[in-house]
Amino acid sequence: MKKLFAKKNRACIDKDKLPRHIAIIMDGNGRWAKKRGLARSAGHYAGSERFRSAAKYLQKLGVEHFTVYAFSTENWKRPKEEVDGIFSLLEKYLYEAINDLKDDNIVLSFWGDISPLSPKLIELIEETNELSKKNNGMHVNICLNYGGRAEITRAVKSIANDCAAGVLNPDDISDEVIENRLYSKNTPPPDLLIRPGGETRISNFLLWQLAYSEMVFTDTLWPDLTDDKLEEIIISFQQRNRRFGGL
Ligand code: FPP
């Protein structure tokens, strides 16, 4: 059993039982800022910095897929100033990613309907997708204007269109046919979902993909979910008995 990051008197991560795919709902940025008397935008900034560090940590650990909920189809209900602030953090991240992708060896993808985003953001996303094709390291999936229901509806529409056009027989519709029309196509489902911020719900995130994921809900706010805390969560995940409906 290969063990990583052994610390005195502490359990450590079993490299042979790493979750292949970790998904995170990055919740609690607003409360993190409020606790410090700061504007909510400062919380999102801290959240985006935590995302960068978490991605580096998980990549070093050997996790293959890392998916985060950055902006949901429901987040448009927030004040315009806050929405614009989140998009400018994403823009900043994309500029950096375009510079760093050669050295970072991550494959960056965006899950969700990007069509209502600004032309600049769409251009940066397309450029990142193109550059990412050369890489083969950890897949980082950023869910942007993403909703689990919208994702499934989109897949159903595409299947219905193919059936109406006679290129797909309704009897041939299977889990695989549906999976191949989700944003997560070719990605194994998350082994572990982490939601910081104290809420115990999945808020329209990866509804199809989370069917057998292990879930960890913690009161820690996202900007405070350090690499050490991620390590503890992964260790607790490794102690679980996953049965996938079997015995
Ligand atoms: C939820 O916390 C967080 C969001 C809706 C936005 C998350 C976005 C980021 C962390 C920035 C994304 C940038 C990159 C580079 C991925 P909340 O605001 O609902 O927190 P609260 O419940 O405490 O108010």
Question: Which residue ranges of the chain lie beneath pLDDT 50?
Answer: none
- Domain 20-147+189-238: CATH superfamily is Decaprenyl diphosphate synthase-like (3.40.1180.10)
- The gap from C-alpha 147 to its chain's centroid, in whole angstroms, comes to 12
Classify residue 201 by its DSSP letter. S
For residue 28, report the distance from its CA to the centre of ligand 1, in Å.
Answer: 7
For residue 176, report the distance from its CA to the centre of ligand 1, in Å.
Answer: 32
Tokens of 28: 């609690």
Q: Is 44 in the pocket of ligand 1 (CB under 6 A)?
A: yes
- The gap from C-alpha 37 to its chain's centroid, in whole angstroms, comes to 28
Classify residue 189 by its DSSP letter. P
Residue 75 annotated as catalytic: yes
pLDDT (0 to 100) of residue 4: 53
Pocket test for ligand 1, best of 41, 78, 84, 86 (most atoms within 8 A of CB): 86
Q: Calculate the dihedral angle through the C-alpha atoms of 179, 196, 144, 49, rounding to the nearest 10 degrees.
A: -130
- 195: nearest Cα among 211, 160, 219: 219
pLDDT in tens, 130-146: 999 999 999 999 999 99
Amino acid at 72: S
DSSP H helices in the chain: 29-35, 40-61, 80-104, 119-132, 148-164, 175-179, 227-238
Pocket test for ligand 1, best of 25, 26, 89 (most atoms within 8 A of CB): 26
pLDDT (0 to 100) of residue 245: 86
pLDDT (0 to 100) of residue 8: 53
Residue 145 annotated as catalytic: no
For residue 29, report the distance from its CA to the centre of ligand 1, in Å.
Answer: 5
| Cβ partners under 8 Å of residue 144, min gap 6 | 70, 71, 90, 110, 111, 112, 114, 117
pTM above 0.85, yes or no: yes
Whole-angstrom CA distances from 10 to 58, 197, 218 are 19, 25, 20
- Asked if 113 and 76 count as a contact pair (C-beta separation under 8 A), the reply is no
Query: How many C-beta atoms surround the C-beta of residue 60 within 10 A?
Result: 12
- 144: nearest Cα among 180, 126, 119, 117: 117
Q: Is 197 in the pocket of ligand 1 (CB under 6 A)?
A: yes
- 69: nearest Cα among 220, 222, 225, 180: 222
Q: Is 73 in the pocket of ligand 1 (CB under 6 A)?
A: no
pLDDT (0 to 100) of residue 11: 81
pLDDT (0 to 100) of residue 9: 56
pLDDT (0 to 100) of residue 71: 97
